[in-house]
Amino acid sequence: MADPLQDLPDLPPLLDHAVLDPLLDGEQLFACCDASRERNIRAICGPLARLPALRNRLGGGEGPRLIAAIDFPFGTLPASLRLAEAEWAAANGADELDVVPDFSALADGDSGRFAEDLAALCDLGLPLRVVLDMARLSDGQLELAVEAANDAGASGVQTGNGFGPPCHPDQVSQLKQLCRGRCAIKAAGGFHSLELVGDLVAAGANLIGTSSAPQLLQAQRQLLQALRQRHTDRPA
C-alpha cells in the first residue's frame, strides 16, 4: 500500500504566489513577501506598479524569484506597448515574466503576428511563460499558441489568467500532450484545495500559480501532522 506521506508533493518549490489584487496595500504586500521567504516559496508574481517595492522587499540573491505580470489580464495592448512593459519590468528587477499574449492575433488567424510578438519578448532573455486562456481558446488556437510559444523560446505556458473557471487537471493533461516536454506547464486559477493541487501535479503541472499559497502550505502542514500522528498511533 502506498505511503500517503510520500504521495504529497513538496509544495514550496512549485508555488508561484500571486499578489495581483490591486487593493492589496503595501503592508499586505510586504507580509506576503516575508511569508514567502520564510516558507521557501519559489516565486512571487506581482503587477508592474508594485514591482519596485516588491523587489526592494525581497532583496537579491536567495529567496523567492520576482515575476512580473505583463499585459495582464487580457492581452489587449499593441505589441510595442506589451514589449515596453516587459522591458520596464526587466529594468526594474523582474526575474521572470508571465505574459498575456496577443489573443486578437489568434482570433484573426494571424499566426505570424502572434509568433513575432512572442519572439521579441523572449529576446529580452528572461524566463517567460505565455499565459493562455484555455477555457475560451479553441483546440486549433491553443495548438497554435503552444507551438508559437515553444518556437519563440518560452520557458513555459500557463493554463489561464485566473479570471475564468477553476483550472482542471484535464487542461494540464492537454497542455502536456501539446508541449511534449519542450517547456514547463504552470497551472493557475481558482483552486484552493490540496486535493486539486495534487491532481494538477499528477497531471503534469510543473508550477502552481495561486493567491492561496500560504493557506495551501498551512493545510499541507496540518495534513502531514495528522498523517504522522496516525502512523504513530498504529499498533506495533
The predicted pLDDT at position 4 comes to 47
Q: Whole-angstrom Cα distance, residue 196 to residue 11? A: 13
| Whole-number average pLDDT of the chain | 93
pTM reported for the whole predicted model: 0.93
The predicted pLDDT at position 235 comes to 66
- Percent of the chain's residues with pLDDT above 90: 83
- The mean pLDDT value for 90-114 works out to 96
Question: pLDDT, tens digit, for every residue of 142-186?
Answer: 999 999 999 999 999 999 999 888 999 999 999 999 999 999 999
The predicted pLDDT at position 5 comes to 52
Question: pLDDT, tens digit, for every residue of 15-71?
Answer: 999 999 999 999 999 999 999 999 999 999 999 999 999 999 999 878 999 999 999
Q: For the chain, which residues make up each domain, given as ranges?
A: 4-233
The predicted pLDDT at position 227 comes to 85
Indicate whether 121 pLDDT > 50.
Answer: yes
Indicate whether 3 pLDDT > 70.
Answer: no
pLDDT grade for 1, boundaries at 50, 70 and 90: very low
One-letter amino acid for residue 63 of the chain: G
Output the CA–CA distances (angstroms, integers) from residue 235 to 49, 167, 219, in the order listed. Answer: 57, 41, 27
71 Cβ contact list (under 8 Å, min separation 6) = 77, 81, 82, 85, 99, 100, 101
- Percent of the chain's residues with pLDDT above 70: 95
List Cβ<8 Å contacts ≥24 apart for 218-226: 219/193, 219/194, 220/8, 220/11, 220/194, 223/8, 223/194, 224/5, 224/8
Q: For the domain made up of 4-233, give the CATH fold.
A: TIM Barrel (3.20.20)
